[in-house]
Structure 1
Amino acid sequence: MIHTPIRTGAILTGALAITLGLGACTFVPVTTEGQHVRVATASDVRNCQRLGSTTVTITEKVGFVRRPPEKLAQEAEATARNAAAKDWNGNTIVPMGPLQDGRQVFDVYRC
Structure 2
Amino acid sequence: MRKILFAVCSCLILSSCTWVKVTSKGEGVRLVQSARAVEPCKKLGRVETKVVSKIVLNRDPEKVAGELADLARNEAALINGDTIVPVSGINEGRRSFNVYQCFPART
Deviation at 1:19, TM superposition (A): 1.3
Alignment coverage as a number of residue pairs: 101
* 1:106 alignment partner, one of 86, 97, 101: 97
Displacement of 1:36 after TM fit? 0.4
Moved over 4 A (4+): none
Larger radius of gyration: 1
Unaligned runs of 5+ in 2: 103-107
Partner of 2:12: 20
With normalisation by structure 1, the TM-score equals 0.83
Between the aligned residues of both structures, percent identity stands at 40
Mark the runs of 5 or more structure 1 residues left unpaired by the alignment: 1-7
Offset of residue 12 of structure 1: 4.1
Displacement after TM superposition at 1:72 (Å): 0.5
Residue 20 of structure 1: how far off its partner (Å): 0.1
SS at match of 1:104: strand
Counterpart residue number, 1:49: 42
SS at match of 2:43: strand
Distance 1:75 1:26 in 2: 7
1:93 matched to 2:77? The reply is no
Deviations 1:57-95 (A, max 9, x none): 111112x12211111101100000000002x11000000
Q: C-alpha displacement at 1:97, in angstroms?
A: 1.9
Give me the TM-score of the superposition, normalised by structure 2. Answer: 0.86
